[in-house]
Each structure stands twice: as C-alpha cells, then as structure tokens.
A and B are shown apart, each in its own frame.
Chain A
Amino acid sequence: MPTSARDIGRLFLPLSGVVLIGVIWFAASQSVPDLPSPIKTWNESKSYVLQPFDKRGEMDQGIGRLAYYSLVRVSKGFLLGIALATPLGLLLGMSPTLHRMLDPVIQILRPISPLAWLPLGLVVFRKSEPAALFAIAVCSMWPTVINSAAGVRAIPHDYWNVATVLRLSRFTTFTTIVLPATLPYIFTGYRLSLGIAWLVIVASEMLTGTPGIGGFLWQEYNSLIYAHILLAIITIGLIGFGLDRLMGLAESRLRAA
C-alpha cells in the first residue's frame, strides 16, 4: 500500500518532536545530578502507571485514582465557575451600562493568580475543599464571562431588527436569538475556562495537601522521590491535552450545527 508523504508527516513529525524532548531530558539528566533520566523515571513509576487504581495509602495511590480525585474537583469548580460566568457574561453583553460598570473590575480580577485566591478561600471557608473549589471557580470563570459578552455583542444587527419587527418578547428574543447566536462563543469560553481550571487544580492541591495529582506531586517532592514529580507532570499534561480536545470536539460540533 503506498503511503503518501503527508501521512508520514502527520505521524512522523509529532513523534519526532516527542523523541526530541526525550533526548533533551536525557541530556539534562546527565548534567543535573538530582534530575532522574527518562528510564529511571519509568522504572520508579511503573507500579503507579501499570496498576493505576491501586490504593496503598492516603497519598500512595495509582495514578488513575489520583487523576480521578483531581478531575472530580476540577469538574465541580469548573461547573460552579461557568454557572456564574455564563449569565454574567450574557448580561454584560446585553447591557452596555453594566459592561462599563463591571469591565474594569473584571480586568483587575482576571490576572490574579490562583495562589492568591486560595488563602482567601481558606480564610472564608475554613476548609481546604471548598477553598479549592472557590479558587478554581473564581480563576476559571473569566474567559467564559468575556467570551459570552463578546458573543452577544457580535450578534448581527439584522437579527436585532428581526426581533424588533416581529415584536418578539424579551424572553423569546433571548431564547430564539441571543442564546443560539452566542452558543459557539460560550463554548469557546468553556474550553478556555476548563484549561485554566486544570491549571489551578495543581496549585490548589499543592497548597492544601489534598489527595490528587497536584497533592501527590508536592508530597513526592517532600519525600525526595523526584522521578514521581516527572510522572505527575507528564500526567497533568496528558490529561489537560485530553480535556482540551474533548471541549474542542464539542465546540466544533456546535459550529457545524
């Protein structure tokens, strides 16, 4: 069977990128004494990867279990975030007054790091779990707010004219025009928000020491098992990539519809 040059390129080029990173990693591990090489990392992480759902202790669990804890926490925080962000964004898009009033606040809140929100969450909620959810929600909501608002503002003037000429009620205008027209923008916001939520989870687990992929990473650093840090980093990256792909799929289906 003849394989075209494009097919080779599609598979070969990304693979060679991965290999290249592996080589750089290996070279670095030869000069930095504490950095484990790829082979050492694999040997020390095998049991976590091959028995992903084993539970040997509070922090000593298979990588699948740890990832599961983190994913559940991220889902809760993310859902809480978009549940607040979507209506807020739509309102900001529909009301120029509200937009002028709240835009500066949003621009100031947006760049605040999760590491800054978490202690505030701990002060207010006194427990690590709600504090983590608070940090995830409050950090991840902004892309959804900004995109939903932009989506409403991007609704073609013609559609507003149709709503006016047909004398549609506010409710009907919202359900038949505003929402369908804005949906692709909202989902772009969700995708970006989920990415941020996943970034925040690691930081919040590291600070609160709750079981999960980030908590594991910090604990293994304290226990001087550096190979597991790399294992955790690779896992975080792979899961983040998977989540983004999933949201991307949902988004493109919406655009096609």
Chain B
Amino acid sequence: MAFIDVCSVSKTFTTDRAARHVLDDVTLSVDQGEFVSIVGFMGCGKSTLLSIVAGLLPPDEGEVRFGGELVRGVRPKTAMVFQNYSLLPWLTALENVQLAVASASPKWPRERQADQARRYLGKVGLGNASHRRPIQLSGGMQQRVAIARALATEPDVLFLDDPFGALDALTRANLQQELAQLCSAEERPVTTIMITNSVDEALLLSDRIVPMTHGPRATLGRPAAVAIPKPRTRALLMHDEDAMRSRAHVVESLTASVRRPRRAHLEPQPVDDIGLSGVPSRSEA
C-alpha cells in the first residue's frame, strides 16, 4: 500500500449564485520518500487538491489516507510551503522559524528550539539575516525562510504549493537547485508533493510528474516517471534524452487536456505508472 492515498476526491465550491465543480474524481498514490509533482495550468484546481491532501480543506467526496489512516485536519509531522511565503510580518526570520519548531517540538527547551531554527536558516543561507523582518527581505529570501520553517520541523511529509511561483526567473532557478539539494541531504525520507506550472521545475525535482487536466472538473492525467538519478542539474536536463522524453510526455498530456472535448474528462483515466515507454501519440489529442 502506498504511503499517501488519495481516493476519488471531488470538490465543489458553492457560492450564493453558482457552484464551481473544481475537482472531479481525483485519485493519486504516493510512496514513502517519493517526490511527486502535479503540473497544470493556473487555476485548474491544483492548489485545492493540495489543500485537501494536506487537510486544510475537507473533500466533498472521496478520502485521503496517510499510511492507511484517514485524514481529518492537518496531521502532525507535515509541513507546507505556500506560494506567497506566508511569513508573519511582525516576527523576525528567526522567530518565524522558531514558531514552527516550538509548535512541532513543544517539549524541547527554548534554547534548543532556537538552535534548530538557526541551523535551518543557516542551511538556506540566511544565517546572517535571522533578525530581519520579512519586509526587509527580498522575495527569494522570504521564500528561503519559508522553506527553512517547513524543514526545521523535521517533517516526513512536505507539501509545496507552487513554492517558486512568485519569484523572478533567476531566483527561481537558484532556489529550485537549492531545494533539490536540501531534499536529498535530509537524513530521513521526506515524502513530497509539489504543485507547479513549470514542467522543467517538476523535472528537476520529482520522481514522478502527474499532469492535471484543465478545470473545471479537473482530474489527473497519466503520470510520467522521471528515471534520472538525483540530484539533477539544469544543464543535465537540457541534454538528457530521458528528461526530454518525460518533458514531451507531460507537455503533450497538458495540451491534450485542453483540446480534448469536455466529456472525456468524465471518463475514468488510467493512473497506472507507465514510466517512459513511449510518448503518447498525437492521435490521442
């Protein structure tokens, strides 16, 4: 059995005027220690799906299980990085990280909590900026603090909600690389689900990439395994044939999901792992 099991999850947001059927029958399994990216267009429901898996939102139908246990609310040992950093502006970088550590390990003495926070700020290269407030930090630095806050709690599950989406291209590339190193440097396996709209970002970090079809009634397309040893570099991905094939497959199914008539979304889609055996033919689109 997989570590994280998402079973036929559906979600509809109802306002006074209309109902928006965001997710339709989404199923996904993630193994322990696996890094899975969900790639899709903006506004297709990726963040909603992640919120449901993380326990921030209840699903209307279906269920989410961690190690066989049904999820109600946010489970312990789970960390999340948001697209807009979500640091508390009245706390310093150190206090922001320490707040998370103190909540995750309330029994530790205060000094140990502070040490842990300092250590992780050092890991993301912000050892000198620990007493600055978020407003005094650049977007990239703020997101580093957010990553430190997530990892400092030593989670076994990490949710990344488009963590680099608000950053400029150069900062984005640097941080992706660093996150890749941080993830592989952790002693324990960290099971990670990342939401992104960048196929290259997904290729750099993931073991498996799952395309999400265009909403409303979004669902997951056929996953593509990325069988390239980690840590990877951007330069390697530019020339690696496996990477290019994965890329082609993900891009293909994303484009297909837009072009396919709406009815096709309602039919169940195979979610089995097809690996890299062949790029789907054009006729499918």
Question: A residues bordering B, Cβ < 8 Å?
Answer: 158-159, 161-162, 164-169, 172, 176-177, 180-181, 257
- Counting CB contacts under 8 A, is B30 at the interface? no
Q: Is the CB of A165 within 8 A of B80?
A: yes
Q: Tell me whether A165 and B79 are in contact (CB under 8 A).
A: yes
Q: Which of B224-269 contact A (CB under 8 A)?
A: none
Pair count A-B, CB < 8 A: 43
Determine which of A164, A169, A180, A257 lies in contact with B88 in the assembled complex, contact meaning CB atoms within 8 Å: A180
State whether B90 touches A161 (Cβ < 8 A): no
Whole-angstrom distance between the alpha carbons of A169 and B104 in the complex?
11
Decide: A167 and B99 in contact? CB cutoff 8 A: no
Nearest residue, chain A, Cβ from B133: A257
Chain A hits for B88, CB < 8 A: 159, 162, 176-177, 180
Q: Which of A158, A180, A181 has the most CB of B within 10 A?
A: A158
CA distance A172 to B78 in the complex (A): 19
CA distance A167 to B102 in the complex (A): 10
List the B residue with the shortest CB-CB distance to A168.
B103
Q: Is the interface of A mostly helix, strand, loop or mixed?
A: helix
Q: Which residues of A contact B79 (CB under 8 A)?
A: 165
Contact yes or no, A165 B54, CB < 8 A: yes
Specify which chain B residues have a CB less than 8 angstroms from the CB of A162 in the assembled complex.
82, 86, 88
- Number of contacting residues on B, CB 8 A? 19
- Assess whether B279 is interfacial by the CB under 8 Å rule: no
Give 29 CB contacts A-B under 8 Å: A158-B82, A159-B86, A159-B88, A161-B56, A161-B80, A161-B82, A161-B86, A162-B82, A162-B86, A164-B73, A165-B54, A165-B56, A165-B74, A165-B78, A166-B100, A166-B104, A166-B153, A167-B74, A167-B76, A167-B103, A167-B104, A168-B103, A172-B99, A172-B103, A176-B91, A176-B99, A177-B88, A180-B90, A181-B90
Taken together as a complex, chains A and B put the C-alpha atoms of A229 and B43 apart, in Å, by: 66
- Enumerate chain B residues within 8 angstroms of A158, measured Cβ to Cβ: 82, 84, 86
Q: Given known contacts A165-B78, A166-B99, what 19 new A-B pairs fall within 8 Å (CB)?
A: A158-B82, A159-B88, A161-B86, A162-B88, A164-B56, A165-B54, A166-B100, A166-B103, A167-B103, A167-B104, A169-B103, A172-B99, A172-B103, A176-B88, A176-B91, A176-B99, A177-B88, A180-B90, A257-B90
Nearest CB of B to A109, in Å: 30
Q: Shortest distance in angstroms between A93's beta carbon and chain B's nearest beta carbon?
A: 18
Q: Chain B 63-93, CB within 8 Å of chain A: the 1/0 string? A: 0000000000110101110101010101100
State how many angstroms separate the Cβ of A110 from the closest Cβ of chain B. 28
0 or 1 for each of B213-226: is its CB under 8 Å from A? (1 = yes)? 00000000000000
Bound Cα distance A177, B86 (Å): 12
CA gap between A162 and B79 in the complex, in Å: 10
Which among A165, A168, A169, A176 has the greatest number of chain B C-beta atoms within 10 A?
A165
For A166, the chain B residues whose CB sits under 8 A away are 99-100, 103-104, 153
Residues of A within 8 A of B90 (CB): 180-181, 257
Q: A169: which B residues are within 8 A, CB to CB?
A: 103
Complex contacts, A159 vs chain B, CB 8 Å: 86, 88
In the assembled complex, the Cα of A165 lies from the Cα of B99 at a distance in Å of 12
A33 to chain B, nearest CB (A): 61
CB within 8 Å of A: which B47-67 residues = 54, 56
